[in-house]
Amino acid sequence: MAQLLRPSKGVLGTVPSPIPQGAQWASMYNPTPTRPLLNLSQGVPGTAPEQILQDAIMTSSVSDAWGYCIAEGESVLREGVAGEMRRIYREGSVDADVNAEDVAITAGCNMAFVAAVMALADNGDEVILPIPWTAIALVTPNNPTGAFYPPSLLLDFFALAKEHNIALIIDETYRDFITSGPPHALFSSSTDWRTTLIHLCSFSKSYRIPGYRLGALVAAPSLLKEINKVLDCLQICAPRAPQLALGPLLPELRNSIREMAEQLEKRHALFRKELSSAWKVGAAAAGGYYAFVRHPFVSIGAGVVAKRLAVELGVVGLPEGFFKDGDANDGKWIRFSVANVDDEKIVAACKRLKEAEESFGWQVDANN
């Protein structure tokens, strides 16, 4: 018998994603017309993209978008991203200091992160997650907790990174769901941000196109020149049809994104209102798709609770152990996505969580 090829030590030493476990639990639930599966596990949009964007993608798909484009992406989308960022991060009447030359388009935000780290770090270098010394990587609003870093804290991280001459990488995939004002002021011309900051974002959530795999990376043009070497190897170019379709439409889609952010804010409020008092939403959860919830059962791990919720009650969430090292069953917290279901299903899910307090037969912590 021929010997199988041996995977690399790096791959063998990497823990496989536990996310499919949630899908397996969901498949074990027996839904009925009156008790459908309520899948609050995935951070995917709950509705289709705007029709104007769907039509534009169809039109661009029949052009010459089947060919390659330059590694850093279509100029129409890069210009569009820069324009949106100048508006989103505006301070009063002063636009943020971001140009198309600072932008590269990637096949999703994960690709943007991989390319940035590969361009920055050598073998043995460390990235703060948070551990030093080559870069600090932050996600705001956060996944899985939904927490977001206030502008003052981000400015402190920026100053720390600049002082030590390391990069600050900020993933802002969920930035459009912050309704309290600009996410931060780091793109001000006064910060000289290009010496320190790398911004990552995704089109998947705000524009509801996760399957088209589009992300963006914003950094100094001198660094992008090196990052493009990585992108040229890993992806050659991001999918062209959605790039060509989305670029001219970004200003037109602003109202849709604003409405979606307001709806999501109301859904978070509804979830908090309907949730049994025995279950606690993390105080820091204030933005993004997710509610991070502390379950009320004494001496029971979150993984065990999440499995029973899915299999017996048809409410699918992901335990905190799925997002950190160690036993996936440990912990007290479960992530629920409130973005991919409607208000009616949010209410139904909260009712079933209340049911679990009695039907599971476990002791409930009155002081949870």
pLDDT at 131 over 50: no
Using one digit for the tens of pLDDT, what is the confidence trace for 138-150?
888 888 888 888 9
Q: Mean pLDDT across the chain, nearest whole number?
A: 90
pLDDT at 99 over 50: yes
DSSP helix/strand/coil, 120:
helix
Buried b (16+ CB within 10 A) or exposed e, 126-140: ebbeeeeebbbbbbb
Who has greater pLDDT, 22 or 217?
Answer: 217
Q: What six digits make up the tokens of 51?
A: 């029709």
Q: What six digits make up the tokens of 53?
A: 């964007």
Q: Which of 41-45, 126-130, 209-213, 361-365 has the lowest mean pLDDT?
A: 126-130
Using one digit for the tens of pLDDT, what is the confidence trace for 39-58?
999 888 888 999 999 999 98
Mean pLDDT of all residues in 262-270 = 92
pLDDT band at residue 285 under the 50/70/90 scheme? low
pLDDT band at residue 287 under the 50/70/90 scheme? low
Cβ-contact 129, 137 below 8 angstroms:
yes
pLDDT at 135 over 70: no
Instruction: Find all residues with CB under 8 Å of 364, minimum gap 6, and list them.
Output: 278, 296, 297, 298, 357
DSSP helix/strand/coil, 215:
strand
pLDDT band at residue 1 under the 50/70/90 scheme? low
Looking at residue 3, its pLDDT comes to 66
Mean pLDDT of all residues in 232-242 = 93
Who has greater pLDDT, 306 or 15?
Answer: 306
Give the predicted TM-score (pTM) of the model: 0.87
Cβ-contact 134, 166 below 8 angstroms:
yes
pLDDT at 130 over 60: no
Please give the DSSP secondary-structure letter assigned to residue 209.
-
Looking at residue 328, its pLDDT comes to 67
For residue 52, which amino acid is it?
Answer: I
> Percentage of the chain with pLDDT > 90?
69
Which residue, 291, 363, 343, is CA-closest to 320? 291
Looking at residue 241, its pLDDT comes to 93
The neighbour count for residue 53, using CB atoms within 10 Å, is: 21
Using one digit for the tens of pLDDT, what is the confidence trace for 300-345?
999 999 999 999 999 999 999 888 776 767 789 999 999 889 999 9
H or E segment to which residue 348 belongs: helix 343-359
- Which domains can be identified in the chain, with CATH numbers? 15-48+255-359 (3.90.1150.10), 51-252 (3.40.640.10)
Using one digit for the tens of pLDDT, what is the confidence trace for 61-97?
777 788 889 999 999 999 999 999 999 999 888 899 9
Strand 315-316 to 38-39 pairing: parallel
Who has greater pLDDT, 231 or 329?
Answer: 231
> Percentage of the chain with pLDDT > 70?
95
